[in-house]
Amino acid sequence: MVNIGNITLPDFPLLLAPMEDVSDPPFRAVCRAFGADLTYSEFISSASLVKGAIHARRKLDIFDSERPVGIQLYGGDEEMLAQAAAIVEATNPSLLDINFGCPVKGVVGQGAGAGVLRDPDRMVRLTTACVKATSLPVTVKTRLGWDEGSKNFVEVAERLQDTGIKALTIHGRTRTQLYKGEADWALIAAVKNNPRMQIPIFGNGDIDSAEKAVEYTRRFGVDGIMIGRAAIGYPWIFREIKHFRETGEPAPAPTVAERVAVCRMHLAGALKWNGPTQGLNEMRGRYAHYLKGLPNIKEYTRRLVRLPDAAGVEALLDEIAQLLQNYVTEPQPIQLVNYHENCAL
């Protein structure tokens, strides 16, 4: 068992990463159904939340069926972060996570996200303000440091633990790396192996297969793994990791019927959460991910995104399942997209 404050997760839990415009309640529910043990909202600006911005408040929505779920905040101002933490607590998520990893200029420039990696004292102050403002378990998600020259995280992690946080997730890159190079799990392991660390340490970065997840858990000794890009359109990654861990065998690839069923499940959640128009709009970017690799799928996704109502989408999804019912799916390598590739630093 792994405990995050009062939340108990199974051994070697699998976490769905917070992802902007991706980790919304319908997607989180799909990932929970396929074995994610804990999910997070996308990051929410503490300033927008305190100002009462509707778009920020909406990100606090939680389906009861998806618990445990964490809400992630970012912000560079202690008072604002504390006020936002109190707002988050009122909506009763399972935990509150602070983002100290977002590398984009707009966030870093506010002294938030990965911006604090240049100033550990500030990072500690922001975390302390949050921990004091809420009775929820507070966790932190961050990167290894600002750049190659400042991979100082072993010491910073101890200081964060001393603020009272209940778990730490580390993306094994620096801020200046964005998504380039490979995530450095050896440094994540150095944090985990520091005998002073008591809280769970979750590793994050580049997990794209069941084999790699199991190997990295063993090799680096982390308490659990967080998965981001590999889960987009492929919630089976969680199930596959658990299957491989339990049996030593790869799980069979999801069938066409399963892929279509997951599309329908996500669609139902999107309609429930967003209403018919917005729900359908939301889904338009998702079909191609779920159906990737199936024959003639470009043609179908082109049609799916143009359909004006959910009934039409469901009928076409049924047609795809019917037409491809004898198609035998094979396991496919998951391609991880290099986000922020053109981001100005």
Ligand X SMILES: Cc1cc2nc3c(=O)[nH]c(=O)nc-3n(C[C@H](O)[C@H](O)[C@H](O)COP(=O)(O)O)c2cc1C
Catalog residues that contact ligand X under the rule CB under 6 A.
Answer: 17-20, 22, 42-43, 72, 99, 101-102, 141, 171, 204-207, 227-230, 336, 339
Shortest Cβ 234–ligand X spacing (Å): 11
Closest by Cα among 185, 184, 180, 207 to 333: 207
The SS3 assignment for 201 reads: strand
Q: CA angle, corner 325, sides to 322 and 329, nearest 5?
A: 140
Shortest Cβ 309–ligand X spacing (Å): 28
Q: How far apart are CA 257 and CA 239, in angstroms?
A: 17
Shortest Cβ 276–ligand X spacing (Å): 25
Q: CA angle, corner 151, sides to 147 and 152, nearest 5?
A: 135
Shortest Cβ 97–ligand X spacing (Å): 8
Residue 7 vs 183, nearer CB to ligand X: 183
Q: What are 91's two structure tokens?
A: 């909506």
Shortest Cβ 226–ligand X spacing (Å): 7
Residue 282 vs 321, nearer CB to ligand X: 282
Closest by Cα among 71, 68, 69, 99 to 86: 71
Beta bridge partners of 40: 70
Residue 37 vs 206, nearer CB to ligand X: 206
The SS3 assignment for 49 reads: helix
Are 135 and 146 in contact, with CB atoms under 8 Å apart?
no
Residue 78 vs 97, nearer CB to ligand X: 97
Q: CA angle, corner 177, sides to 176 and 179, nearest 5?
A: 135
Shortest Cβ 184–ligand X spacing (Å): 12
State the helix-helix crossing angle for 78-90 and 120-133, rounded to 10 degrees: 30
Task: Just list the catalytic residues.
Answer: 102
Shortest Cβ 257–ligand X spacing (Å): 27
Residue with the two structure tokens 């305190």: 50
Beta bridge partners of 38: 15
Closest by Cα among 17, 341, 11 to 179: 341
The SS3 assignment for 55 reads: helix
Beta bridge partners of 14: 225
Residue 53 vs 307, nearer CB to ligand X: 53
Beta bridge partners of 15: 38, 226
Q: How far apart are CA 289 and CA 42, in angstroms?
A: 19
- Residue facing ligand X at closest CB distance: 228
Q: Write down the H helix ranges in 224-286.
A: 236-247, 256-274, 276-284
Residue 40 vs 287, nearer CB to ligand X: 40
Residue 170 vs 294, nearer CB to ligand X: 170
Q: How far apart are CA 248 and CA 214, in angstroms?
A: 9
